[in-house]
Structure 1
């Protein structure tokens, strides 16, 4: 729902977390019926170009993170994206950090932006459309839930559903059952399940929320969905079970924005204390406020400032979000000298040129640097945030 200028402003002010389910929904448009004289491929290209490669992150798939969590690998649920393809590096001055390569999803988006689609893309898109548009998929599930759980009390609101689920998840007698539910519902392999149960038996206290906090959260969300569906408090629109997947990524963001009816109905019951939910309409309004303000500026330095920070207008939506999470605007501001800027550029070059240090990843708890690599075409918006094409902006300066 955002136009190119709004998309560019979004990436200037926020780090969008691109979820794998969104990537699949974009690809799924390949098999939409053509309408208004536009091909499905053109629609996918247009959407892919809105998922800009710079200042964004593609999160690891939730199913992989659930399995990691159950196996004992730490999954940080600290409101930051979790990305893959990480390589440990060491710079010439002995500083250690990570280089993040393009993920499979990012590489796919790069191809789609240029209109390149493989036969596999076509087949996956077709399968995705078939699975996600079955009209009776949730109606059948609703009937199965009613038959399989006839003893649970009838619930009249989603708040009652949340309270009921919280009781189930907290009951000491249910902890092993929740673990089994998790393994079955999220398709954990038999090999991994054996290791997980062995780890579970070694726990002095059988408490699932501390055993695997992220997996616990995902079980809570899924159980909430099932019980809400069973009590006719969540609709049977086929896409609801796709929209459910976005909620599994809440622990990896601070702000969740959506215009989806299902999301709006349940989000306030699932978000944490640090989270903020704003509707898609509110987000669009906030970006338009910033764009409108920028259009009134005449000084180059003032215009360039809006590439790095939103207008300092307390009533603006973006200002309020920055103020909440960044203690912004700062009480004291220091002008950075040209010499400091040059030193920072040299240090960045040092980090980019850092060499491999195999086997050291586990030893780096607090990396000195993180370098994110991404592929950008000449027709993509310039990473500087100007809104111009890369070919017409900083590429000319190289």
Structure 2
């Protein structure tokens, strides 16, 4: 699982970004989404329109193995209310799952999020007025951020000798403030106030926290504690000149650190990220300098591009399901870290029969129909989910790369035609199926 910032994706060629999409499961943060939309209001150079600029970035956005993470404010709120569903274990928090049961078996169908729908439109070069309006609001919000005022406020609260002299010292001080012994209630209130939670939610937060035994914030709401620590770190660094207060976008850049619990790897070419992100990562995680990963993606792209045409005709999905086993670059090193046995020889995967494929497609259709028609059944946390449907839009051609074989494309076109007929029949029968 890999998180990237917008500047890293901008640095890649389209072909390099396609290889990134093949090599990693990319977690797309809402910050990347709103930053991209904000580009719709920027002045563009060399005669390009804002749509062309944003469209070029959308073309680079990972789609094949990507997940749009839930907005951090919503996760914080759930956490402070004691309502988080799972632990934060370097996997993304993905919203929109519809629990269903078909023939007694549990499944989850994930509809496209608004962000995913927007990315699909962008790939087709379509932009909506609502996105332009949101982009203007986002730019206005950035213009209103007064970093010098924040720095001055913290300077007034601290004695000169207590001010941190390094990023590491600022992180340590922020951590002590969050975990102050005997200050559990104060930490809860500080998280509610500094993290911008709704005022009306505070009574329920306090009630649920007390019902849990009034534990320390990091025990009760670990994600909220993490985000509070990031915010305190940022403001402490501002107060002592460790982070510039003359660049409002620093506030957006530091916010990417909120999402570290949802991934194994964070890649960026931003110096602020390089100095601060490793301070908030555990031993299982890695910060990767963007130019280093870009260089290796270029090497891998050249390697796959040099293969015989009959190999490339299989499509990149088959061709580049992993790095070459003898590869020693940055990508392979990250695979070694997280999947140490990936270089070991494996027996060939048996080809699925037409009957097996048809069975899977029919099962998927029944799950999707159940989700569309309503009557969703909440699943107990201990129920094993046997099926999961995730909708994606993947172009047949991305950059220089053909993504699928001719056989797969033909089968996909035929299945799409059958699906349209099925959808029309379901609608005629009174179902609520969207075409």
With the length of structure 2 as denominator, give the TM-score of the two structures: 0.83
Report the counterpart of residue 89 of structure 2 in structure 1: 78
Secondary structure of the corresponding residue to residue 49 of structure 1: helix
Alignment of 1:41 with 2:51, yes or no, is: yes
1:281 to 287, 291, 295: 291
Contact conserved, 2:179 with 2:187, CA < 8 A, in 1? no
Separation of aligned partners in 2, 1:323 and 1:54: 22
Contact conserved, 1:80 with 1:251, CA < 8 A, in 2? yes
1:177 to 186, 190, 198: 186
Give the deviation of 1:299 after TM superposition.
7.2
Report the counterpart of residue 306 of structure 2 in structure 1: 296
Report the counterpart of residue 264 of structure 1 in structure 2: 274
Report the counterpart of residue 429 of structure 2 in structure 1: none
| Cα 1:302/1:327, change in 2 over 3 Å | farther
Contact conserved, 2:313 with 2:406, CA < 8 A, in 1? no
Alignment of 1:320 with 2:327, yes or no, is: no
Question: Structure 1 unaligned runs (5+)?
Answer: none
Separation of aligned partners in 2, 1:214 and 1:222: 12
Alignment of 1:255 with 2:265, yes or no, is: yes
Give the deviation of 1:338 after TM superposition.
2.5
Contact conserved, 1:17 with 1:56, CA < 8 A, in 2? yes
1:61 to 71, 82, 86: 71
Alignment of 1:351 with 2:369, yes or no, is: no
1:203 to 203, 208, 212: 212
| Cα 1:297/1:348, change in 2 over 3 Å | same
Report the counterpart of residue 6 of structure 1 in structure 2: 16
Within a 5 Å distance, the mapping from 1:140-179 to structure 2 comes to 140-150=149-159, 153-179=162-188
2:98 to 59, 70, 87: 87
Separation of aligned partners in 2, 1:196 and 1:113: 41
Secondary structure of the corresponding residue to residue 353 of structure 1: helix
1:339-382: per-residue Cα shift (whole Å, max 9, x none)?
Answer: 46863663354234323462323445542222101345xxx355
Separation of aligned partners in 1, 2:277 and 2:219: 23
Contact conserved, 2:304 with 2:320, CA < 8 A, in 1? no
| Cα 1:328/1:290, change in 2 over 3 Å | farther
Secondary structure of the corresponding residue to residue 28 of structure 1: helix
Question: Structure 2 unaligned runs (5+)?
Answer: 1-10, 414-435
1:311 to 290, 311, 324: 324
Separation of aligned partners in 2, 1:227 and 1:191: 29
Secondary structure of the corresponding residue to residue 17 of structure 1: strand
Cα RMSD, aligned residues only? 2.6
Secondary structure of the corresponding residue to residue 99 of structure 1: strand
Separation of aligned partners in 2, 1:241 and 1:220: 14
| Cα 1:344/1:393, change in 2 over 3 Å | closer
With the length of structure 1 as denominator, give the TM-score of the two structures: 0.90
Separation of aligned partners in 1, 2:241 and 2:200: 37
Report the more deviating stretch, 310-319 or 271-280: 310-319
| Cα 1:209/1:66, change in 2 over 3 Å | same
| Cα 1:48/1:302, change in 2 over 3 Å | closer
Contact conserved, 1:352 with 1:371, CA < 8 A, in 2? no
2:115 to 79, 84, 105: 105
Contact conserved, 1:161 with 1:228, CA < 8 A, in 2? yes
Within a 5 Å distance, the mapping from 1:206-221 to structure 2 comes to 206-221=215-230
Give the deviation of 1:89 after TM superposition.
2.4
Contact conserved, 1:91 with 1:351, CA < 8 A, in 2? no
Give the deviation of 1:9 after TM superposition.
0.8
Contact conserved, 1:294 with 1:303, CA < 8 A, in 2? no
Contact conserved, 1:133 with 1:239, CA < 8 A, in 2? no
Give the deviation of 1:302 after TM superposition.
8.2
Give the deviation of 1:116 after TM superposition.
2.6
Separation of aligned partners in 2, 1:388 and 1:95: 36
1:78-105: per-residue Cα shift (whole Å, max 9, x none)?
Answer: 111111111112344x432211111111
1:26 to 27, 31, 36: 36
Separation of aligned partners in 1, 2:320 and 2:355: 20
